[in-house]
Amino acid sequence: MTAIAESHNETHIASSDIHAKQIQAWELFFSSGRVESDSIRQEIVKSWKRSIAFGLRPDSRKANVKITRQSIAIIKEKNSALIEAAVPIMESLKLSLKNTGFIFTLADNNGIVLAVI
């Protein structure tokens, strides 16, 4: 194995270790509210805390936010230019990624889903 290949392999292993620690930290946080890993950036921890504060849980199968059909229609109308520009691109990408299991979701700046392809 060349020095470059060995270096790449070591980097990959180190990256895998970091990812495993991040997953463990995420699981610990959402099960107990504690963070015991220095591999998690503070911005991420703050994001997790905001999620909890808003009642968002990764183990929940449904959102606790209710929105009316009328509100959705208004939001879609306000974002019609975005939808008209994005949906054809999303459709094109869908053809490229056929049978991969990917879906494309378009959301507004508040996270309201505008289109799913």
Residue 87 is predicted with a pLDDT of 96
Residue among 56, 61, 33, 70 nearest 111 (CA): 56
Amino acid at 75: I
pLDDT band per the 50, 70, 90 thresholds, residue 12: low
Q: Is the pLDDT of residue 1 over 70?
A: no
CB-facing half-sphere around the CA of 37: CA atoms within 13 A: 19
Q: Where are the domains of the chain?
A: 3-53, 69-116
Report the percentage of the chain scoring pLDDT > 70: 84
Residue 102 is predicted with a pLDDT of 86
Q: Which two tokens stand for residue 56?
A: 């968002």
pLDDT band per the 50, 70, 90 thresholds, residue 10: low
Residue 14 is predicted with a pLDDT of 64
Amino acid at 39: S
Q: How far apart are CA 84 and CA 27, in angstroms?
A: 39
Residue 33's SS3 state is coil
pLDDT band per the 50, 70, 90 thresholds, residue 88: very high
Geometric angle at alpha carbon 55, from 64 and 40, rounded to 5° = 135
Query: pTM of this prediction?
Result: 0.49
